Amino acid sequence: MPQAQLPIFPEGVVPVTSDLAFEKRNGRVTYFNGTMPVFVHDESDLATFRMITSQFVVNGNCTQSQIVRAFGIPVISVKRAVKRYRDKGPRGFYEPRGTRGPVVLTPEVLEQAQAMLDEGALLRTIGSELDVKPNTLNKAIHAGKLHRPAVKKKHPQLPYPRPN
């Protein structure tokens, strides 16, 4: 006859379900199934936290609402993490975020814009001629992709001759 396991946890843990609990100690989070630790990660490791809590939900160890109550996080965060786990598995939490490349500022456009900047054209003039927003050109200048030409300071002419 199988023996029922009592929901016994080590002292100082926070229960998630009657079988699952966690403990934060010395910058580490430890998850327990009864008295047995099943997973450990750094407290600051958000990707691993999302991965393991999603795994608990997908495997049926707990529900999304139990994760929300136990950790005090928004429901939508748990839903997104569970969806990522179902779509991509654990690997999905450690992939670099996808970013778009330079769609508008191709090397040719940058070269033309820099030539026009060197001639002293205004950003709005360059933008209208190259079909690029002036704000995009300004961001490219701040990012170092474009640079404004160095302006030589002119000394103002005095209305009267200088004394010798």
- Residue 61 sits in the same domain as residue 129: no
Binned average pLDDT, 10 residues per bin, the chain of 164 residues: 62 89 94 92 97 97 96 97 97 88 82 92 91 91 88 64 64
- Residue 69 sits in the same domain as residue 39: yes
- Residue 48 sits in the same domain as residue 86: yes
Question: 164 lies in a domain?
Answer: no
**CA–CA separation, 81 vs 101, rounded Å?**
25
Instruction: Give the count of alpha carbons within 13 A of 65, CB side only.
Output: 0
Number of structural domains the chain divides into: 2
- Residue 133 sits in the same domain as residue 66: no
Using an 8 Å Cβ cutoff, are 105 and 139 in contact?
Answer: no
| Cβ within 8 Å of residue 45, ≥6 positions away | none
- Residue 43 sits in the same domain as residue 65: yes
- Residue 79 sits in the same domain as residue 113: no
Longest dimension (CA), the chain: 114
The count of other CB atoms within 10 Å of the CB of residue 31 is 20
Domain span holding position 138: 107-143
pTM to 2 decimals? 0.60
